[in-house]
Structure formats: structure tokens, C-alpha cells
Amino acid sequence: MSEHSLKLRSRAVTNATESRTRASALPAVERRAAIVAATLPLLYEHGEAVSTRQIAEAAGVAEGTIFRVFPDKRALLKAAVEAAFDAAPIERAISAIDRSQPLDDQLVEVMALLQQRFGSIWRLLPVARDIGVIRSGSAKRPDMRALTELLAPFADQLRVDPEVAARRIRSLALATSHPGFEPDGPPAPEETVSLLLDGLRHAPSEVRR
């Protein structure tokens, strides 16, 4: 074997060893999270038909690695859907909105976050039902604390209590994100917030005569 071939072989062995070292150094919790994150986009595209081979390629791991972290494909899909349905990230995102902005601007950010979240949930709903993430009568009351806290400083501008207003905003975002109600996609957050705050009718000064 030539010196050049020996160098190439040595380099390949070194790269493979480094790759195995990196993979083994990744904590199980982080590896699980990485596989779940790689699974979600594929679920949106393929639904339950997504293969573990596709998931492994997207996650950059061997297919066997999936089954060292999850007992089977169903368990992985369930973990991915549960991650998508987890309300904690949206609560953190709403809490992080700049409170120095006017109410309208804050609500536009809220609506954009909620529409994105609910759009994803609607797409995953059939899978969630099939794998048992959602069962009849198992729905939990949504956590509205972050949105209620955002609205609290504007209570004197609202016709309802901030907690009630938070529920109304969530309901509107949920409805406008449903593909059956809005086949062309949800209306722009600015339009939805204007509808929420101002209603459908022109103000008296804007009515054409």
C-alpha cells in the first residue's frame, strides 16, 4: 500500500473515531431532544408515514441510535407531538415581548406567535389522535398567565377582565389558524388584532355616506 493510501486510511479511521466520540459524548437527554426536533418537520410533511430511516438521516444519527433512545417508532412520534403541544415555549415567548410597546403592537406579536403555534397543532392533530396524545375528555385548561399578565396594565382600556380578554384572543387565534376556516392561511396578525380590538364595523367617523 502506498504512503498516500496509508495517510488516507489513517485519516478516515481518525475521522470515524472522532465521530463516534462526539456521538457518545452527547448526553442521552440532548440526543433525545435532537431526534425529536428532527422528527417534527418530517411529521408535518409525511405524517405517520415518516420512516425511522428518514428521521435518522435528518437527525444525523444511525437508525439504530433511535431505538437506543426510544423503544419504538410510536414512542418517538408521541414524544415529538407532545413537544409540539407543550405550551411552555409559547408562554416564555409571550413573557419576553417588550412591555414598553403600545397594546396593539404587543398583541400583534402575540397573535403571530399564537397563529404559528396553532397552525402547527392543527396539522399534527390527526397524528396526535392516532397515537393517543389526545383522548376524548383529556383536554386541559390552557395556561393563560403570560397573556393575562401582558394585558393587565391595559385593564382600564378593556371591556372585559384581562383573563377573559386573554381567552378571547386565544380563541380568535385558534379559529383563524384552522385551515378549514381560513383555506388561504390565517389573516395577517395586524388584521386579526384590528378585528379583535375594533370589530367589523367602521367607526362612525369613517362611515361613507
DSSP line for 55-82:
HHHHHTS-HHHHHHHSSSHHHHHHHHHH
Q: Determine the average pLDDT of the residues in 173-177.
A: 94
Mean pLDDT score across all residues of the chain: 85
Report DSSP state, residue 48: G
pLDDT at residue number 138:
54
- Residue 113: inside a domain, yes or no? yes
Question: Cβ contacts of residue 10 below 8 Å, gap of 6+?
Answer: none
DSSP string, 122-156: HHHHHHHHHTTSS-TT-PPPP--HHHHHHHGGGGG
- Residue 5: inside a domain, yes or no? no
Greater model confidence, 200 or 48: 48
Residue 8 has pLDDT above 70, yes or no: no
Q: Are residues 135 and 178 in the same domain?
A: yes
Q: Are residues 179 and 94 in the same domain?
A: yes
Greater model confidence, 41 or 17: 41
Q: Report the SS3 class of residue 164.
A: helix
Greater model confidence, 29 or 170: 170
Q: Are residues 92 and 194 in the same domain?
A: yes
Of 64-73, 101-110, 127-136, 161-170, least confident by mean pLDDT is 127-136
- Residue 2: inside a domain, yes or no? no
Q: Are residues 78 and 140 in the same domain?
A: no
Residue 83 has pLDDT above 80, yes or no: yes
Q: Report the SS3 class of residue 158.
A: coil
> In total, how many domains does the chain have?
2
Greater model confidence, 178 or 204: 178
Domain of residue 102, CATH code: 1.10.357
* pLDDT band at residue 38 under the 50/70/90 scheme: very high
Q: Determine the average pLDDT of the residues in 48-66.
A: 94
Q: Give the pLDDT confidence of 106-158 residue by residue, as tens digits.
A: 999 999 999 999 999 999 998 998 888 876 555 566 789 999 999 999 999 99
pLDDT at residue number 135:
66
Choose among 130, 204, 61: nearest CA to 52: 61
Domain extent, residue 50, equals: 10-83
Greater model confidence, 125 or 26: 125
Q: Which of 53, 68, 83 is the last residue of a domain?
A: 83
φ, ψ (nearest 5 deg) of residue 179: -65, -25
pLDDT at residue number 27:
77
Q: Are residues 94 and 191 in the same domain?
A: yes
